[in-house]
Structures are given as C-alpha cells and as structure tokens.
C-alpha cells in the first residue's frame, strides 16, 4: 500500500509541476497575444538564389504572401527580361497558387530548382507530405530547407502531449544548424517560434533581435517585430530600433 501511496504522491507532484508550467506558458503566450507574426514565412530565404540580379534597380510591385508579412524584397525589383517568366511564377507561388514542376522548368528553372519550387507550392495543401519529404533526406543542404523543415515541424508535430520534448528537440537541431549557418536570420526566427511555444518570451526577443541583425534589417524581420505590439512593453528599445529602420527604409525607397 505504501508503494501505491508513494506512486500516487509522485504522480500528483509531477502533474502539479507540469500543470503550473503549462499555466505559465499560457500566461506568457497570452501576454504576447499569441506571437502572431512568428507564423509568417520568410519567402526571401525560401527563394534565395532563384532569380538573377536585375540589371537596373527598377521597382516592381511585389505580392503580399498569403501567410502574412510584407512583400518579399526578392520580388520587389523588376526582373531582367530573360527572368520575367520566372519572376511571375514566383509571384504566383507566394500568393498561394499551386504549380507543377513542368511549369517551373518551362520558365527556365533548373531541374533541382523546379523540384524545390514544386515542393514549396504544396506546403499549404499538403504540409504533412512536404515535411515527410524533408525528413526523408539524409541531410538538408540549404538554409531554406532547414528553415522550412523546422517551421512545418513546429506547426504540425508539436502538441500538448509532447510540447517540451518536441520544442527542445527543435531548439537542439537549430543550435546544430546554426553552427553550419551562423548568419542565417531565418534559423533565429524559427528558434524564436520554438521558444514562443513554451513561453520563453525572453528567448523569443533575443532571437528576433538576432534575426533583425543578421538580415541587415530586412523589412520582413523589422515588421515581425513592429507588428507584435507586446515587444513595445517587453523590450521598447528593440521596437524603437525597428521602427526607425523601417522609416529610414521608406525614405530611401
């Protein structure tokens, strides 16, 4: 009987500790209003290297990604004439259109590029299948692949029964990948999202600041900070810096 009592007391203690932790997670996430901007996708990272540098710095109207966030800087410049078809397909991709591999190849993308873009076009309708394909690769070769894998994993595979284990597993993987790609803002952004799921608000702010820094104040990361009102309460200096950088960018634009 004493063993049963001890087991019951131990189980009640563990349950109480977990319950208090989950309550704190809820309070922290509620204080930050759900960290809504951490659900955005950094399409500049996902599409890196897929368009040649334009000959002239002429502006183009870039589309708004369906996941939210500002237009992608990569698409905000008028493409070279030979890249116009590729530019149009990438604009269609970020606005939610599903495209097949042949369409990308016909526009001039290489076979490997077309396969990657076809995978990206499936992330809204078939995210589980895309995550499975990324998991099946022996090693992810690019920042975009790593970032997409962790972004999807955090959205699809983390649930109340595995919350802490899954999040800390993600953070360990990202630490390892940041040894390979230390200046990749998207990986800091993904780690911020992971921290947000367990209420580590200070770690969220630290990684958001790193993302802003390593992106050289990319509008995507500046807006991710500015459009999260809680940052003004938790770290007003970071919010002020990002607002000033956005204002300066508008002047220069």
The DSSP output letter for 79 is P
Distance, in Å, from the CA atom of 114 to the CA atom of 181, rounded to the nearest integer, reads 24
Name the residue range of residue 242's domain. Answer: 32-252
Residue 253 pLDDT > 90: no
Helix segments in 32-142, DSSP class H: 43-46, 84-94, 101-106, 111-120, 127-136
Q: Domain for residue 11, yes or no? A: no
Q: Is the pTM higher than 0.85?
A: yes
Nearest by Cα to 44 from 181, 178, 185, 171: 185
pLDDT at 4 over 70: no
pLDDT tens digits, 17-49: 455 545 555 555 555 456 889 999 999 999 999
Kindly state whether residue 8 falls inside one of the protein's structural domains. Answer: no
The per-residue pLDDT for 61 is 85
The pLDDT, as a whole number, for residue 14 is 44
2 assigned to some structural domain: no
Q: How many structural domains are present in the chain?
A: 1
**What value does the mean pLDDT take over residues 84-100?**
95
Q: How confident is the model over 77-91, as pLDDT tens digits?
A: 889 888 999 999 999
79 occurs within a structural domain: yes
Asked whether residue 21 is assigned to any structural domain, the reply reads: no
Give the separation between CA 27 and CA 29, rounded to whole angstroms.
Answer: 6
The answer to the question of residue 66 being in a domain is yes
Q: Answer whether 185's CB lies under 8 Å from 210's CB.
A: yes
Average of per-residue pLDDT values in the chain:
88
User: For residues 139 and 173, is the Cβ–Cβ distance under 8 A?
Assistant: no
Position 13 in a domain: no
12 pLDDT exceeds 90? Answer: no
- pLDDT tens profile 103-132: 999 999 999 999 999 999 999 999 999 999
Domain assignment of residue 12, yes or no: no
């Amino acid at each position: 009987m004493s063993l049963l009592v001890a087991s019951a007391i131990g189980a009640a203690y563990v349950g109480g500790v977990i319950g208090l932790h989950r309550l704190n997670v809820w309070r922290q996430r509620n204080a930050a209003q759900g960290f809504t901007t951490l659900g955005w996708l950094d399409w500049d990272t996902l599409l890196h290297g897929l368009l040649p540098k334009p000959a002239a710095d002429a502006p183009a109207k870039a589309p708004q990604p369906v996941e939210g966030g500002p237009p992608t800087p990569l698409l905000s410049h008028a493409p070279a004439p030979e890249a116009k078809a590729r530019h149009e397909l990438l604009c269609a991709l970020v606005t939610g259109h599903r495209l097949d591999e042949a369409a990308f190849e016909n526009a001039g993308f290489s076979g490997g590029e077309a396969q990657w873009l076809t995978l990206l076009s499936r992330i809204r309708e078939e995210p589980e299948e895309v995550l499975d394909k990324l998991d099946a690769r022996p090693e992810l070769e690019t920042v975009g692949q790593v970032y997409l894998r962790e972004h999807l994993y955090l959205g699809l595979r983390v649930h109340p029964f595995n919350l802490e284990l899954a999040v800390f597993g993600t953070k360990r993987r990202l630490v390892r990948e940041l040894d390979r790609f230390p200046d990749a803002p998207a990986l800091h952004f993904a780690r911020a999202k992971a921290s947000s799921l367990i209420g580590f608000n200070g770690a969220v702010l630290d990684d958001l600041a790193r993302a802003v820094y390593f992106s050289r104040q990319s509008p995507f990361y500046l807006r991710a900070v500015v459009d999260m009102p809680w940052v003004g309460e938790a770290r007003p200096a970071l919010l002020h810096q990002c607002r000033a950088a956005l204002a300066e960018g508008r002047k220069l634009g």
